[in-house]
Amino acid sequence: MNDESGATKGAVLVVSGPGGRLAAQVATRLARDGYPVGIIGPEGAETTAADVVSAGGRALGVRAEPGDRAGLDDALARCTDLGATAAVVLDFHPPDATRSRQLVTLADDEWDSWCEAPIRWCLVGLQSAFQLLSASGGVIVLIVPTVSLIGAEGYVAATTAGEAQRILAKSGARRWGGSGITVNVVAVPLDALPDEDPGEPGESAQLSLGPPALAPPDPAIGIASVVTSLTGPLGGMVTGATICLDGGAVMAP
């Protein structure tokens, strides 16, 4: 473990929504790089933290439901037991976000579950992260699917939710820079988000404009690298940006 990097950059907190697979992978990667990590989510956070500790890292898992402002505030505060907070990573997508559904077939409860609820969760997550970082500054990184940048048949809910979250992130970036807080977005392929059956064969949509220009990346490694870079000098120059971690498949501005 690289104790020096963790001691100098402080705790990196991964805040997960209801899925948690990607957030757990990011937390594990950060721990391998020597950062103490707090893992927050409705389920699995304690198990992921225990796995990190078993591997020789420092971690704390705290249960909190997405959209529960008081619960998330408390969880973030508890994670400061690991040390000063440098960054908060937000990932708010439902477990079935990868499912393809035609717009004309979406029921009210499906639209709320796949689109409106994640937007509310993101708002609350940003509010809690700001409250935590407002005194000393820090980094907020929001994870969205690349499909939100280009759209795709069958993924209107995921596209709408992701784009709304990007707008929230940009709004926070504009307002919070004076408090020393940066807010940036990383976009990853939809299949890197929480596990779920994508549907019957033939239901999947075209989710990129072409094959990646580079070898398919590991989103967890990419996100961890972005987070650690933004906690250094680069963080003072970049805010409100969207960084696409898909090997060049989308190449959206």
Q: For 17-37, what is the mean pLDDT?
A: 87
The per-residue pLDDT for 205 is: 45
Model confidence at 5: pLDDT above 90: no
CB 32 within 8 A of CB 25: no
DSSP conformation letters of 39-106: EEESSSHHHHHHHHHHTT--EEEEE--TT-HHHHHHHHHHHGGGS-EEEEEEE---TTTT----GGG-
Model confidence at 4: pLDDT above 50: no
* Chain segment 119-155, per-residue pLDDT in tens: 999 999 999 999 999 999 999 999 999 988 888 888 8
Q: For 74-93, what is the mean pLDDT?
A: 93
Percent of the residues in the chain that have a pLDDT greater than 90, as a whole number: 60
Q: Cα(59)–Cα(183) distance, rounded to whole angstroms? A: 24
* Residue length of the chain: 253
Percent of the residues in the chain that have a pLDDT greater than 70, as a whole number: 89
* Sheet of strand 37-41: strand arrangement: 59-63, 37-41, 11-16, 85-91, 138-145, 181-188, 242-244
* Chain segment 205-253, per-residue pLDDT in tens: 445 666 778 877 788 999 999 999 999 888 889 999 999 998 888 887 6
| b (16+ CB within 10 A) / e for 218-232 | ebbebbbbbbbebbe
Quote the tokens at residue 114. 């796949």
Q: Cα(242)–Cα(229) distance, rounded to whole angstroms? A: 14
Q: Cα(129)–Cα(126) distance, rounded to whole angstroms? A: 5
